[in-house]
Structure 1
Amino acid sequence: KEATLTLMNEQIAKAHEHLKSCHTLVVTLGTAVVYRLKETNLVVANCHKVPQHNFTRRMASVDEITEALSAMVERLHEFNPQLRILFTVSPIRHIADGLEVNSLSKATLRVAVANVNRVYRDFTAYFPAYEIVMDDLRDYRFYAADMVHPSDVAISYIWQSFQAAYFDDASTQAIARCERVMKRLTHRPMTANREIVERFYADTKAVVTNLVKEYPYIANIKEINDLISE
């Protein structure tokens, strides 16, 4: 328990430091349904398998969500004036309570975000991931077998739309190179020949080292940092 708490606090501290110099923060909203812990009357982020009778459940209103997001935006802007906040609404369906509740929940989130963007338009924006799946793709072919999560094809389509909206050609090329490197990092050579395996890892490290020289910020990616630190 103590080790978990220590790890959580360390991650919070890292996020705090990163936010000081971060240029863009993507905030994805999933559901308007909230759970309050009866003991404290505070909204929780995760129930952590605590019995349901310890919580009260309800759907937050547009005004409540607008107020909460506005307070967050103002605090973040005060903390880091250069930060731009990009909101999205997740296309993943929350169907435990039925499609009607899910539809109302997503609509509530969407209106709240529109309210926030209207007031803080100078440093907030909205990317329509939800609308891309619901209105552009519009077909169960673009959902996984559970009919809840977008399929790999849909995810790729959303990612391509995101790149087209926010990245220039140089950024797109850099991302493509990074993606190829990440594939190498997750690849496991299917051979028992030690010389071939060692050559593969040496080549991969050389590629990564050169890429980090061009784009120093990618050293923050854990897999890349682990490799260049060896």
Structure 2
Amino acid sequence: MEFMLNINLPKAEKLIHHQHHILSVGSCFTEHIGNALTNMKFQVLQNPNGILFDPVSVCSSLVSYIRNKQYSGEDLFYLNELWQSWQHHSRFSGMDKDRVLEKINRSQNHAHHFLKEADWLIITLGSAFNYRLKDDESRSVGIPQISVLTNGGAVANCHRAPSQFFQKNLLSITEIIENLDNTIHQLFHFNKKLNIIFTISPVRHIRDGVVENNRSKARLIEAVHHMVNKFNRLYYFPSYELVIDVLRDYRFYDIDMVHPNYPATEFVLQKFQQTFMSEETIALSEEVKKIVIACKHRSANPATEGHKKFLRSYLEKVENFKKLYPYMDFEKEIKYFSNVSDEG
């Protein structure tokens, strides 16, 4: 008897390897995948603008990487004692305007060069709703005019500004397709070898309303499938369907009943590996994860011979891995396991 709906996920035509460079952009769920890949020592750059939810913001950020857009003071606004950017997550915000700009532009430059050499781009879309800055409200508080912003005043992050500053908009399927189509053409012109994986975040945006959330997700799914059917080197991975239709139970959600919990994200990651990795790559990833987990171990009695033996054993293992796979970054692990020489 089957107690779970099964989704047949065939192996992708092209597979991800540890030598590949992977850029991931989009919602918070893309960071679950990105963090997991990073822990397996894949070469990953995550969300150079910070977390993004809607297709307009995602596309705008990707085009800015292609062009290596450099921001100036006119692109920032001052609110709640912080200098901030409408196109960036609050992790870039700060009290020192020059430091905020330096941080943003350093990230832009890194993203530009990384994207140029990337083998894979993972795009996770979270919502078809976007927010646009109102012209009249922006004047009254000294926030930059809409002309400073791209995409008709669309913002990627509202930075807790008053809701009356914005016009909430549910993007049409046509609008989403137009943004994605234009961006993908630019991406493929910029990087001839790039492969793109689309996925829809299973995180429910309940603040929009249950009905509105479903309308939003439906538009994203329809638009993405249109693009996958149109272009080669585009793939769809069903993160949304795996959580909503396969797991399909609140025990797979966090206490907020909105975000998938650890077992759910691990389940999705396992399916992702089975779809986009060879058995050899999966096996290697599991061995790497053991090293990463061991590096997090903190002994209550580090001076014991048992702990020193543990460190020596893993140091030898890491050094062997480094010889076999020089493209993997084990600097942190080598530093930790090398502590045995200091204590011995």
| Other-structure match for 2:284 | 174
Structure 1 counterpart SS, 2:290: helix
The one-letter amino acid of 1:146's match is D
Alpha-carbon distance, 1:194 to partner: 6.9
The 5-angstrom pairing of residues 105-144 of structure 1 reads 105-120=216-231, 122-144=232-254
Structure 2 counterpart SS, 1:159: helix
| Other-structure match for 1:159 | 269
| Other-structure match for 1:185 | 295
Gaps of 5+ in 1: none
| Other-structure match for 1:66 | 177
The one-letter amino acid of 1:161's match is K
In structure 2, relative to structure 1, the CA distance for the partners of 1:83 and 1:202 (3 Å cut) is same
Compute the TM-score of the two structures, normalised by the length of structure 1: 0.89
Give me the whole-angstrom Cα distance separating, in 1, the residues matched to 2:271 and 2:295: 26
Q: 1:17 aligns with which of 91, 107, 113?
A: 113
Contact 2:120/2:194 (CA < 8 Å) preserved in 1?
A: yes
Gaps of 5+ in 2: 1-95, 135-144, 147-151, 337-344
Q: 1:53 aligns with which of 164, 177, 184?
A: 164
| Other-structure match for 2:207 | 96
Give me the whole-angstrom Cα distance separating, in 2, the residues matched to 1:9 and 1:206: 39
Higher helix share: 1
The one-letter amino acid of 2:218's match is A
The worse-fitting range, judged by mean Cα deviation, of 189-198 and 16-25 is 189-198
Could you list the per-position Cα deviations for residues 184-228 of structure 1 after superposition, in whole angstroms to 9, with x for gaps in the alignment?
222222225376666655544443332233223322xxxx34445
The 5-angstrom pairing of residues 72-91 of structure 1 reads 72-91=183-202
Give me the whole-angstrom Cα distance separating, in 1, the residues matched to 2:331 and 2:294: 14
Give me the whole-angstrom Cα distance separating, in 2, the residues matched to 1:206 and 1:9: 39
| Other-structure match for 2:153 | 42
In structure 2, relative to structure 1, the CA distance for the partners of 1:181 and 1:34 (3 Å cut) is same
The worse-fitting range, judged by mean Cα deviation, of 59-68 and 40-49 is 40-49
Structure 2 counterpart SS, 1:102: helix
Contact 2:131/2:166 (CA < 8 Å) preserved in 1?
A: yes
Structure 2 counterpart SS, 1:193: coil
Alpha-carbon distance, 1:75 to partner: 1.1
Could you list the per-position Cα deviations for residues 3-59 of structure 1 after superposition, in whole angstroms to 9, with x for gaps in the alignment?
232122212222221112211111000001101122314211111222222221111
Structure 2 counterpart SS, 1:25: strand
Q: Percent identity?
A: 36
Give me the whole-angstrom Cα distance separating, in 1, the residues matched to 2:253 and 2:303: 41
Structure 1 counterpart SS, 2:206: coil
| Other-structure match for 2:5 | none
Instruction: Please say if 1:208 is aligned against 2:300.
Output: no
Backbone CA RMSD of aligned residues: 2.0
Compute the TM-score of the two structures, normalised by the length of structure 2: 0.61
The one-letter amino acid of 1:29's match is L
The one-letter amino acid of 2:168's match is R
Give me the whole-angstrom Cα distance separating, in 1, the residues matched to 2:311 and 2:105: 34
In structure 2, relative to structure 1, the CA distance for the partners of 1:181 and 1:78 (3 Å cut) is same
The one-letter amino acid of 2:100's match is T
Instruction: Please say if 1:27 is aligned against 2:27.
Output: no
The total of aligned residue pairs comes to 225
Structure 2 counterpart SS, 1:216: coil
Could you list the per-position Cα deviations for residues 40-87 of structure 1 after superposition, in whole angstroms to 9, with x for gaps in the alignment?
142111112222222211111111111111112111111111100000
User: Relative contact order (alpha carbons < 8 A, sep ≥ 6): 1 or 2 greater?
Assistant: 2
